[in-house]
Amino acid sequence: MNMQIPAIIACKLTRLALRLMGRGGTALPGKVALRICPNLLGYLAKNVKTVVITGTNGKTTSARIVEQAFIQTGKSYFANKSGANLITGITAEFAAHSTIFGRPKCEYAVIECDEAATKAIVRQLRPSLVLVTNIFRDQLDRYGEVAHTLENIRIGLSAAPEATLCLNADCSLTASLAAELPNRTVFFGVDVPIYKNRVSEVSDAPYCIRCKSEYEYDYVTYAHLGGYRCPKCGYSRPKPRVSVTRILSQTADSSRIEITADGASHTADISLPGGFNIYNAVGAFTALTEFGFSASEALSALGGFECAFGRMEKFDFGLSPIRMILVKNPAGCNQVLNFLTNLDGDAVFVICLNDNYADGTDISWIWDVNFEVLLGMGESLKKVLVSGIRADDMALRLIYAGIPDSMLEVVYDYDELIERMASSETPVFVMPTYTAMLDLRRRLSEKFGVSNFWE
Amino acid sequence: MELKICHLYPDALNLYGDQGNIICIRRRLTARGIEAAVTGVRVGEKCDLTQFDMFFIGGGQDFEQEVLLSDLAAGRAADIRAAVEDGKTFLTICGGYQMMGSHYLTHDGVRCDFIGAMDLYTEGRSERMIGNMLFRCTGENSGSLVVGFENHSGRTYLGPGCTPLGTVICGRGNNGEDGTEGARYKNAFGSYSHGPILPKNPAFADFLLKTALERRYGSVSLEPLDDKYELAAHEYMLGRLAQ
């Protein structure tokens, strides 16, 4: 029996009901639809040209840049905006952008896909292009080890042999996918070191993915990313087709880089700071030009996109600027610290650590983050406030990093925390885990009318 | 006084924040004016293990664990066994703990020989045991409560040659069947508890340090520290798991 139409209707109705109640869930409508028709996504996606973005870090920002090019060129597209990157959320987005008969209302879709869910999702989406940003250890209780994540992505991609793959050449794990798959593959990478002072980090992939010998590096950009080669079997960083060839300048709000593709060099302004966003930019640039956008269209997307929800997002409800930067795993958090501690000027840091399912229930990763770098900020770090469900563990970690007792404060109550942020005379940088960010925003929305994430 | 500490395989066994244990060991020693010299010994690196008082081995990814087998076979396993027999203090966590046993049996029946320093072995299963955990150490192991987080698919079974470190109150422990958690043989300790285990379990941390100090210096008493932050983290999880 053909269950697609009832499933689409149920999905749309559930979504509408949630909206009327003032709630923004995308999981429930998708769940309802999939219960009625388990292969609904494949049916809805059949006639939509889709770009999929997956990987551990940088999915959302990369997707926003790609999306920006669709906006600026006036293309008919939709995207899964709200961090709804599992099969339920993606199905709901497709249903919302189709008629009740399942005919697509848009020609294109830009879909961020959870790396563990690629296995189930890519098979149904049959995307034209897949961008894999990187693979890091992330929420080990959910994803398991990096080899497992890599395998999930490989299985997912193997169901879409017609898709063009854009792979990060600097990530030895991601780049290894090319030899495993028949797809047309384009590599991107960063040819030069990014940071003058790089935090020391634990590598998530020190040993060759093929023969388990230790890699040698010509240079490291951050974590295990850079110019690796295996001295034993010869597996090495493939030469990227699209490269960042120079870092021209980096500020608190943006970066200027030189991107070289097929021999032509372009100066690119990225409207977000930080080395990790340089990777997001070159990855998105590669995806866009492979998808058929011109280099100048891609460049204007890099400079024009709006920062995603909680990715260096700026709020102005306080005396001083307040920026929010989602943290979720050691590599990402180290990059955020790398960036923040290299800024000039005084700062107050707020760290909110939750251990709900979406955050990862195991918070031991905070001990793999180099919080010791905060000491290097000296006098310019004015205060560190900690909050969230696991505030006590976070405080202990910071004390063990050498942060003086006098500089640290545990503020359990979010209203009090927000009060403290608003009244701070120094710029505030808030680093919440995912559900802590949702909680904070909910309070901010009640207090100051900051928009909710589904809006 | 001083302790010479060996962090084995920091390059390969470094998952789950276990290096927090090294930070904690260093901190709790230096706070008491005891010198802490930590040496990381990497895979393939030659090193005389007899010089150390204390050893730490953390957990890692299965992928990297395989890298270690050749290093162990090239003489390291024998050195570790000798250090254990010599009464040196070992803290081994998760994958490091499993490695101290005689072997690992994968779920498809492949046998992997390990160090054989402790009378225990591990069987791999497909279902992982993941979550916050709470156990009480047995009387001779400080008797203290320990909170942590476990994430393992291996089931560890103890032989008569070693005793459990403690009894599971919340969580699964060694194998989810017999209520035991961790193991002790001489002064070698193993546990499945990440967290990392030492920072927020200061009583257990001090017990371990005392064990290592006493082997070298005879009877030692450790002056108490201000454990405000340590105990806040400890008690938070205690309160949550006791409900």
pTM of the shown model: 0.87
Structure tokens at A397: 């970690």
Question: CA of A367: which chain B residue's CA is closest?
Answer: B17
Chain A residue nearest residue B60, CA to CA: A145
Q: Which residue of A has its CA nearest to B44?
A: A214
Question: Do the Cβ atoms of A399 and B229 come within 8 Å?
Answer: yes
Fold match, A4-186+273-304 / A311-448: no
Domains of chain B, earliest start first: 2-242 (3.40.50.880)
Is B137 part of the annotated catalytic residue set? no
Q: Flag if B43 and A367 touch (Cβ within 8 Å).
A: no
Dist. CA B222–CA A438, nearest whole Å: 44
Least Cα separation, residue A396 to chain B (angstroms) = 5
Q: What is the pLDDT along chain A (455 residues), one digit of tens a residue?
A: 578 999 999 999 998 888 888 776 778 899 999 999 999 999 999 999 999 999 999 999 999 999 999 999 999 999 997 568 899 999 999 999 999 999 999 999 999 999 989 999 999 999 999 999 999 988 877 777 888 899 999 999 999 999 999 999 999 999 999 999 999 999 999 999 987 777 677 788 999 999 989 999 999 999 999 999 999 999 999 999 999 999 999 887 889 999 999 999 999 999 888 889 999 999 999 999 999 999 999 999 999 887 766 777 888 888 999 999 999 889 889 989 988 888 888 999 999 999 998 899 999 999 999 999 999 999 999 999 999 999 999 999 999 999 999 999 999 999 999 999 999 999 999 999 999 999 998 888 888 876 654 43
CB contact under 8 A, B232 and A395: yes
- What is the C-alpha to C-alpha distance for residues B65 and B63, in angstroms, rounded to an integer? 6
CA angle, residues A139, A141, A144, in degrees to nearest 5: 80
At position A414, the amino acid (one-letter code) is Y
Out of A137, A214, A410, closest to residue B15 by CB: A137
Taking CB atoms and an 8 Å limit, are A202 and B19 in contact across chains?
Answer: yes
pLDDT of residue A310: 73
SS3 letters across B66-110: HHHHHHHHHHHHHHHHHHHHCCCEEEEECHHHHHHCCEEECCCCC
Instruction: Give the gap in angstroms from C-alpha B235 to the nearest C-alpha of chain A.
Output: 9
Distance from CA of B78 to the nearest CA of A (A): 23
**ipTM here:** 0.96
First to last CA, chain A: 36
Class of domain A4-186+273-304: alpha beta
Other CB atoms within 10 A of residue A230 CB: 19
Residue ranges of domains in chain A: 4-186+273-304, 311-448
CATH number of this structure's domain A311-448: 3.90.190.20
Environment class of A356 (CB within 10 Å of its CB; exposed 0-12, middle 13-18, buried 19+)? middle
Compare CB distances from B233 to A137, A141, A392 and report the shortest one's residue: A392
Beta carbons within 8 Å of B195's beta carbon, 6+ residues apart: A364, B17, B20, B147, B148, B149, B201
Active site residue B24: no
Give the residue on B whose Cα is nearest the Cα of A409. B229
* Inter-chain residue contact A396 with B232, CB threshold 8 Å: yes
Q: Please identify which residue in the block is written with the tokens 């200061």.
A: B202
